[in-house]
Amino acid sequence: MQVKDLLNIKGISLANKADVDKKIDGFYTCDLLSFALGHITNDNVTMLSVINSVNIVAVASMLNMSSIILTNGVIPAPEVIEKANLENIPVLSSNLSSADLLKEIYKYEAIL
């Protein structure tokens, strides 16, 4: 799966300019960055979260994540978009909760 595939899922939109051809090797949902730092063990993970802060972009960059999805209707802040553009990390958003969005993603992944 690639980041651009996520854009085919209803309600997911892209908030910045970054490489959507990046591949996704797993998902992680978490709202505490140190948990992400301590538990994400591979590259190319897409993280679902409500943390609307430049720090999520910094952590995504540290861990070579493929993209970030802000859930629950959180609209990415301008500074988040700016930093994500600099780091070339796609930021997506959705009105669904992280749990409900993952269900949709897995349903879509099954038909890919």
Partner 1 sequence: MEKFTYKIEAMDFEDAGYISSKVKKMLEHDNVSKSIIRRVSIASYEAEINVVIHSVGGYANIYYDKDSLKLEFIDYGPGIESIENAMKEGWSTASQIDRENGFGAGMGFPNMKKAADELLVDTSPSGTKVTISFKLGDANAS
Give me the residues that bind partner 1 (CB under 8 A), please: 31-35, 37-38, 43, 49, 51, 53-56, 58-59, 61-63, 79
Of 19 and 79, the one with the shorter C-beta distance to partner 1 is 79
Least distance from partner 1 to the Cβ atom of residue 67, Å: 17
Of 52 and 97, the one with the shorter C-beta distance to partner 1 is 52
Cβ neighbours of 95 (radius 10 Å): 13
- State the amino acid at position 58 in one-letter form: A
Least distance from partner 1 to the Cβ atom of residue 14, Å: 21
Of 14 and 54, the one with the shorter C-beta distance to partner 1 is 54
Residue by residue, DSSP assigns 28-42 as EE-S-HHHHHHH--S
CA distance 101 to 71: 8
Least distance from partner 1 to the Cβ atom of residue 77, Å: 11
Of 54 and 102, the one with the shorter C-beta distance to partner 1 is 54
HEC sequence for 47-82: EEECCCCHHHHHHHHHCCCCEEEECCCCCCCHHHHH
